[in-house]
Chain A
Amino acid sequence: MTSPPQSLHRALGLSDDEYEGIVTVLAREPNHLELALFGVMWSEHCSYKSSRLHLRRLPTEGPHVLVGPGENAGVIDAGDGIAVAIRIESHNHPSAIEPYQGAATGVGGILRDVFTMGARPLAVMDPLFFGELTDARQRWLVEGVVSGISGYGNSVGVPTIGGELTFDDCYSSNPLVNVLCVGALPKERLVLGVASGVGNLAVLLGSSTGRDGIGGVSVLASAGFSGADGAASIDDAKRPSVQVGDPYEEKRLIEACLALLDDHLVVGIQDLGGAGLVCATSETAARGGVGMDVDVTAVPLRELGMAPFEIMTSESQERMLAIITPENLDAVTALCKKWEVRASVVGRVVEPERLSDGTTRGMLRIRNGFEGEILADVPASALADDAPLYDRPRKRPANLDDVRADDPTFDEPVGSASDDLLDLLVDPLWVHRQYDTQLFLNTVVGPGRDAALLRLAGPGLPDSKRGIALSTDSNPRWCALDPRIGTALTVIEGVANLACVGAKAKAVVNCLNFGNPEHPDVMWQLSESIDGMAEACVSLELPVIGGNVSLYNESGGSDIDPTPVMGLLGVVDELVAPPPGWNWGSDDVLVLVGERRADGERPFPLGGSRWATKRGRRGGVIEDIDHAALTLTLDFVVGEIAAICAGGASDVTAVHDVGGGGLAGALAEMVAATGLGADVVELEGHAELFSEFPGRFVMATNDVEAFQDRARAQGVSTTRLGTVGGDSLRVGSMIDLPVTRIVSRRRDALENALGALV
């Protein structure tokens, strides 16, 4: 046994076994700098060491996939010579400690991931999860996170077009701040983060390097919060690991990098995110199979006396690494000068080392001056690719059977369904109106509807009449009860949301927010969730083109509910008119499209529903749905709405998928959107009102016979629900609510909870 010096490796987040692994790779003991490099690169956040094994089970291929998982962003061919890049990330732990900067730098980081691919970022979405707003700390977090996203996104000039807002006690010490970004590029401009060409230069672009964010990936992102009151108890100690954002620097960096790519001045480009310079240099060198010499003295610093390990692992924001040929250095410098972006040569691509067995391996050498002392000398691929791969123990939670048996589906209703419905209504407008949703003038459907819809247009893109649709979805309540079916249904929910704006789903990205992977029941949840996602994606022929795994979302030993967030990307082939949205008109006939009942013993399951959760009933069984019927329904809805987007005449006047709040929730949201009531037939009890199983749509039509004929011709079930009109929403004998009450209750719910109206 080698005895590591004072267990420095443990302080850096490395286990004893991992330390031994490093000694084996190097065939010697690492020095402190080398150990620090391994500490960040082999962190859970950078290496996916607990999840990689399972992620391999996801389907990742499709004829339109240009870049799959593992790169900075996934990319699909959207047609008309345009490629679309998409990426999702988490910035959970930084946001728990410093909500404004944590959320702001999350936006900055995801933008860099996308323009690293040569794509101009076109839109951002932010799924957010907090504890209940009765707690003052949660209100502080919500306001901080939302203003951080707003402050950075609006200023950098990329619209924020949606994202979900979920409140549940399981997030009170560990909020989740996920961020998704989509960008587009002319197909031929696609670039990858590869260093190649011995003698080429690595140029650091953008901000100077400071002590902010040192160890962010290992200290913050790859460990849970220990205190019983979560972030509150340790935030002061961890705050220096949070970075600070500068959106104006980022804006100039975006423009400079896209201009460098347009002028063919770079060989490869990589953003500096988690693990900073060591990650960017080792990953680009490893992908190119070359070595790289990095001169730490050439890195522009914003603080005095920084040690080499601080320079190499700092997560200072707004930095990129470009690999260029020496001949282009003057042109690169001139272009960066125009955009007032700092450019410094900090590295050189060098020959890989030749091993005795004839193979080669590129070494990352950190030097004190290019010809000076070698401070660290490690194989780039060992840092980037050779982190240990763990098959951590998995165990089905012992209490799961009891939890599932405690099913609220057959609970007798208490009180009136009208009051139950009012309790479920929340309009997230307070959040969305703080986001600039319209930048680039592409936003056809903004936040707060089923899915966002953008024209596929932007500076430098070929002309196109296509649109792209985006949705983020999650359902931690389902996933807590059944991570496999829950995740599958979450994918379906996302696909259904896209259908509401006429888009056919083309790809999935995912952000898997889970608890501590060293807890066997968390690993079981993660593995089951991945299987559920794989099953749904195979069934719907959807490739998974990227993802992020955020583990250690725990506090005081208590894990969050499994929260896989699905980001869905869809395409509308011709977008010249807006989709109908929720805008039904008087005398339109309402039709439920899709299978009325779930597939199983519970026709209207309530396990995991908002209705049950509100009543403190968190158990139950999640029923699967009939995938063959679902596919027919989805194709039908996409076809109906896409025809309207293409400018065709239609009898369809409104569409909304049945999601949170169930059928009653969907109807109430449409009432609130239009100010028009509706008369709906008697349903099969409150369970049908509030059951949330996906794959169903409320549609309105002004020619119900023609509409139902078309559905029938495609083998799709429809059920007549009633008629639009009047100044109240009535559902049989169960619900009778004035439109004004629905409107005001939904409008004020969030602001009242935040105390903004008090």
Chain B
Amino acid sequence: MKTLGVAVELVWHSTTDLSDFDGVILPGGFAHGDYLRPGALARFSPVMGAVQRFAEEGGPVLGICNGFQVLTEAGLLPGALQKNVGLAFLCQPTTLVVTSNNSVLTAGATLDDELVIPINHFSGSYTCDDETLERIVENGQVVLRYKDNPNGSRADIAGLANERGNVVGLMPHPERAMSTLLGSADGRVLLESFVAANVAA
């Protein structure tokens, strides 16, 4: 974010008010060790109430990896993330296809564009019931799909938005694809789009 010229602040998990911010990112990691199930404990952090209100007011919210898991656990995004097919952690580059512009993350990306962005997760296999799948596909909420599905995600789903498009979660790490020195700069278009949404909001 700093490389995009945005002022960023880390907030503590006990924070209860996010009204001074233009956008919220739930980063990757292992919140509370993810000992029960990824995101299952973190959704009860006091800050999640504030994230909920922020999202309800239309503020842009982005969950990356563990952040995506927390958003599904908190009910801000539909479905759930289960263990990868193969039952092992996967750290590798993936090719993503932009399948919808209806989100703060992909509004600035070109439909059908392919982006090389790494994944780094154990529980990244997206799943949901048939009805939900039909709904999110129809609404254009599936914003990114894997070209070669690495983890068994249903319908190759890599990134997902809520109906309004202001809350987005994805398992791949766009913030790890910001520089060719580190392998890829394809994440820039996504994070730039998120920043532009902040400005618009």
Q: Which residues on A are within 8 Å of B, measured CB to CB?
A: 147, 150-151, 154-155, 157, 246-249, 251, 432-438, 441-444, 455, 575-578
Contacts and interface: CB of A to CB of B under 8 A. Distances in A.
Nearest to B41: A248
Name the residue in A246, A251, A436, A575 with the highest tally of chain B Cβ atoms < 10 Å from its Cβ.
Answer: A436
Contacts of B32: 248
A101 to B, nearest CB: 15
A327 to B, nearest CB: 27
A434 B88 contact: yes
Interface string B170-196: 000101101011110000000000000
B182 A157 contact: no
B120 A438 contact: yes
A247 B91 contact: no
B33 A436 contact: no
A754 B119 CA distance: 24
A436 B181 contact: no
A577 B182 CA distance: 9
Contacts of B176: 438, 441
Interface in B14-50: 29-30, 32-35
B89 A436 contact: yes
A434 B182 contact: no
A131 to B, nearest CB: 22
A147 B83 CA distance: 14
Contact of A157 (B30, B34, B35, B91): B30
17 contacts: A147-B88, A150-B88, A154-B30, A155-B34, A157-B30, A246-B33, A248-B32, A248-B35, A251-B33, A433-B89, A434-B90, A435-B89, A438-B91, A438-B118, A441-B176, A575-B181, A578-B181
A179 B186 CA distance: 33
B89 A150 contact: yes
Contacts of A444: 181-182
Contacts of B34: 155
A120 B171 CA distance: 27
A229 B37 CA distance: 38
B89 A441 contact: no
B175 A432 contact: no
Contacts of A442: 182
A436 B182 contact: no
Contacts of B33: 155, 246-249, 251
Interface string B85-120: 000111110000000000000000000000000101
Nearest to B87: A147
A438 B182 contact: yes
Name the residue in B33, B91, B122, B173 with the highest tally of chain A Cβ atoms < 10 Å from its Cβ.
Answer: B91
Given A157-B29, A247-B33, A248-B32, A443 B182 contact: yes
Contacts, number: 61
Interface residues of B, number: 22
Nearest to A432: B91
Contact of A436 (B35, B88, B120, B178): B120
Given A248-B32, A576-B181, 17 more contacts: A157-B29, A246-B33, A248-B33, A248-B35, A433-B88, A433-B89, A433-B90, A433-B92, A434-B89, A434-B90, A434-B91, A436-B91, A436-B120, A437-B91, A441-B176, A443-B182, A444-B181
A248 B30 contact: yes
Contacts of A248: 30, 32-33, 35
Given A154-B120, A157-B30, A438-B120, A433 B91 contact: yes
Given A434-B91, A455-B181, A441 B30 contact: no
Nearest to A156: B30
A151 B88 CA distance: 10
Nearest to B32: A248
A441 B91 contact: no
Given A248-B35, A441-B176, A441-B182, A435 B91 contact: yes
Nearest to B34: A155
Nearest to A151: B89
Contacts of B180: 578
A143 B185 CA distance: 33
B95 to A, nearest CB: 16
Interface string B134-165: 00000000000000000000000000000000
Interface string B56-80: 0000000000000000000000000
Contacts of B88: 147, 150, 433-434
A436 B30 CA distance: 12
B108 to A, nearest CB: 22
Contacts of A455: 181
A154 B89 contact: yes
A108 to B, nearest CB: 13
B91 A577 contact: no
A246 B30 CA distance: 12
A347 B89 CA distance: 42
A578 B89 CA distance: 26
A223 B78 CA distance: 55
A478 B192 CA distance: 53
Contacts of B183: 578
Contacts of A435: 89, 91
A155 B90 CA distance: 13
B96 to A, nearest CB: 16
Nearest to A247: B33
Contacts of B122: 154
A219 to B, nearest CB: 29
A150 B120 CA distance: 11
B4 to A, nearest CB: 14
A577 B89 CA distance: 29
Contact of B175 (A147, A154, A441, A576): A441
A577 B181 contact: yes
B45 to A, nearest CB: 12
8 nearest A-B residue pairs (beta carbon): A248-B33, A155-B30, A434-B89, A436-B120, A150-B89, A433-B92, A436-B91, A438-B176
B176 to A, nearest CB: 5
Contacts of A251: 30, 33
Contacts of B181: 444, 455, 575-578
A151 B34 CA distance: 11
Contacts of B29: 157
